[in-house]
Homo-oligomer: A and B are copies of this chain.
Amino acid sequence: MSQTTTTHTSTLKLSTSAQSLTVQPGRLINTIHETALFGAKHSWGDDPTETGVCRLALSDEDKKVKDWFVAETKKLGCKITIDAMGNIFALFPGQKDAKPTAMGSHLDTQPTGGRYDGIYGVLSGLEVLRTLKENNYTPKYPIVLINWMNEEGARFPMALMASSVWAGLNTKEEIYQMESITDDTPVTVGEELERIGYKGDVDCSHLAMPIAAHFEIHIEQGPVLEREDKKIGVVVAVQGYSWWKVHVKGKEQHTGTTPMNMRSDALLAVAKMIVKVNEIAHKYDGMGSTGTLDLEPGVMNVIPGEVSFGLDFRHPDDSKMALQIKEAKESFAEIAKSTGDLITVEFEHIATQPATHFNKTCIKCVRESAEELYDKDDIRDIVSGAGHDSCATALHVPTSMIFIPSRDGVSHNPEEYSTPEQVHEGFMTLLGAVLKYDALREE
């Protein structure tokens, strides 16, 4: 098992207390590989750990890993609560009876997912609790480890599903009706929660299940930390996104018989628009690209009469996001006009998610934890490109995230990989950050 590190003990000196904690390097990566067996799929190497994981929300494999999670946290003395959306809260007691400090992420995956995305966050939290338990360390305040249900939105097509209900963005009743898109015979969220026994009695709400703060550790899913040789990304924000489908109509014409100056070539207009999106994203320091494009009639010697394409803008600053969209709309209209007499363009809005800015205190705890463990050069602030459950919790409670490097920036892919050392370094940062926050709450 080339990716598995032998377990040995090490210590973390806690600057916030007189105490040192003994940690077990290598146990976390072993736990990751252990739980990956619930849904291991898509082998890409000779080692048994070199596979992806297919563990769709509320599937049989998801039930198995949930059962395992409940059993493991119970062993640590945690009190388990399952809410009405199947979120699992494992409460590790503190010295005081108050709202717990939370660590959370998700154990569900994409159909061709890896063994780190989400999973690493939940199991790092478990490793924190195991470490506290072994060291007989009782935090000042309770700590709750949360496994959020259906973060991926792969089987039931809504990302951050259960954390959004918890945050009050959606009602559980509307979500229960949502049908799966990966089953031959679609089933609903409500039916599947009942079937696997994870439709809890407690309301899914930040009021019924309050927390004091939320920390989430995750793989970066991008290439920045690896390229810059960093150990830890201190996540200060999650950029927003705005998705559009752009419909461009021109005129189907014969490529041989229609003079260049009598054409209304929808694809030529779209090509100019795609180039323009790139310019706009650079101008505003944001991101912009196109992942989908459909054209009609799609014949070698016919000028396309209709082209639709996806437009994906990102920005950590909502006001600059608005400028990106405004400039796209204006410039596309100009491009249509100047490319052909008959060309028209229409924007169809798909979805917009504003940017999330994390809590300064939580960010400070992460940064100080990392700086105590590693050189300053090994750490950098970073903006998350993708959404996470922490975007939902940040609407109500202090929240921040920690990133570790992803090999080649690959994610949502069986070959998703971070080294055992990186996995351990991230966990140590989370442990320190949570205990720092625990200490700060007392002040």
Contact = CB atoms under 8 A, between A and B. Distances in A.
Contacts of A255: 287, 289, 291, 312, 314, 385
Contacts of A230: none
A293 B296 CA distance: 10
A255 B314 CA distance: 8
Contact of A268 (B241, B289, B310, B387): B289
A17 interface: no
Is the contact region of chain A dominated by helix, strand, or loop, or is it mixed?
Answer: mixed
Interface in A323-351: 350
A223 B256 CA distance: 11
A75 interface: no
A60 to B, nearest CB: 26
A241 B300 CA distance: 12
Which bucket holds chain A's interface residue count?
35 or more
Given A272-B275, A291-B303, A293-B293, A254 B221 contact: yes
Given A300-B310, A310-B300, A411 B292 contact: no
A221 B275 contact: no
Contact of A275 (B254, B268, B292): B268
Given A259-B224, A267-B290, A254 B302 contact: no
Contacts of A300: 243, 291-292, 310, 312, 350
A185 interface: no
B290 A257 contact: no
A278 interface: yes
A385 to B, nearest CB: 3
Contacts of A263: 289
Interface of A: 220-224, 227, 239, 241, 243, 253-260, 262-263, 265, 267-268, 270-275, 278, 281-282, 287, 289-293, 295, 298-304, 310, 312, 314, 350, 384-387, 409, 411-412
Shortest 9 CB-CB contacts between residues of A and residues of B? A222-B257, A257-B385, A256-B385, A271-B274, A271-B271, A221-B257, A256-B386, A255-B312, A300-B310
